[in-house]
Amino acid sequence: MDSSLFLQYLFAGITYGIIYAIVAIGFNIIYNTTGIINFAQGEFLMLGGMISISMLQFMPLPLAIAVAVLVTMLIGALIEMVFIRWINNPSVLRMVVITIGISILIREAALHVWGESVRALPYFIGSAVTSIAVFGTRISPQVLIVIGACSIMVLGLSLFFRYTSLGREMRACSANRRAATLCGINVKNKVTLSFMLSAGIGALAGAVMSPITYTQYDNGTGLAIKGFTVAILGGLGNSLAAVAAGLILGIIEAFSVSFLPLAFQDAVAITILLIILFLRPHGLFGSSEAARLKEF
């Protein structure tokens, strides 16, 4: 494989990898505050793309994306308030099934609103054939935008959780809910906030990736599975590890095309998921002790 092709695969892997990482971080944020795996996570990306595309008819691109992100965040909050908030003492399994149901509903709604057609946002810079030279190969600037936007989100999130009081309060909720309540933290609101945050980053990621990956009403499920794989790979709840894990999965997936038929590319992620679940459910970077402490 010559170096140019290698770099192409590498960039493709990094691009998709960081998107999967954002999905995984979305999982982690909600998981950390509630212990729930939100299966509808992938739909947030789909919605981000779809709503942006619709809004584009009425407003310039940056505004359209902003609106899409806000609307998706609202949807995230709505989901939490309608379905999640009032259930007492849910069993994990029950919540998984409910969120799967929610993701189906969102999908079907999207199907009826936007139809089956594949859509895409226009390239932010130039067009589909614009490319810039990087390290001896040519890639689309959109790739850099995706990587850039997602990296900024990751950075922003780590700063948020570490240095702002709101972020610290959310971390407190995840560490010990009861103690957080006793400290005067409004846990219920933090839960809603976590859903909104996950929805927001998902939507933004969905919007920036739309020109490259296209957007279709059923994009969500596949992304959710891969995002979950990445989350598990890095250790559930560990967002920094999720970034590393995302890159690993993305790159493996990208390079798999060179020795597997293209049609099986999706199966790579799932196979890795199954292997991890069977062999090392606490992920590459998690510890088995910590994993056992969390009630599954």
User: Which residues contact another protein by CB under 8 A?
Assistant: 37, 83, 87, 91-94, 96-98, 100-102, 104-105, 107-109, 111-112, 221, 225, 228, 232, 261, 263-264, 266-267, 270-271, 273-274, 277-278, 281, 289, 296
Closest approach of another protein to the CB of residue 30, in Å: 12
**Pairwise CA distance, residues 60 & 102, whole Å:** 31
**Angle formed at CA 256 by CA 136 and CA 281, multiple of 5 degrees:** 120
Rounded distance between C-alpha atoms, residue 235 and residue 146, angstroms: 24
Q: Cβ of residue 153: shortest distance to another protein, in angstroms?
A: 25
Q: Which is nearer to another protein, 93 or 159 (CB)?
A: 93
Minimum Å distance from CB 170 to another protein?
21
Closest CA relative to residue 19, chosen from 239, 205, 283 = 205
DSSP for 82-108, written as a single string: IIITT--S--HHHHHHHHHHHHHHHHH
> Min. distance of Cβ 83 from another protein in angstroms?
7
Beta bridge partners of 215: 119
Contacts of 185 (CB under 8 A, 6+ apart): 169, 172, 173
Cβ closest to another protein, residue 111 vs residue 175? 111
**For another protein, the closer CB: 62 or 261:** 261
Nearer to another protein, 119 or 280 (CB): 280
Least separation in angstroms between residue 292's CB and another protein is 11
Q: Which is nearer to another protein, 113 or 134 (CB)?
A: 113
- Pair 18, 151: CB distance under 8 Å: yes
Cβ nearer to another protein, comparing 5 with 109:
109
- Alpha carbons 102 and 96: distance in angstroms, whole number: 10
Give min distance, CB of 216 to another protein, in A.
15
Nearest distance from C-beta of residue 231 to another protein, angstroms: 10
| CB contact at 8 A, 41 and 202 | yes
Could you tell me how many helices (H) and strands (E) the chain has, helices first?
12, 2
Q: Which is nearer to another protein, 95 or 150 (CB)?
A: 95
How far apart CA 187 and CA 17 sit, in angstroms, is 32
- Tokens 């994306």: give the residue: 65
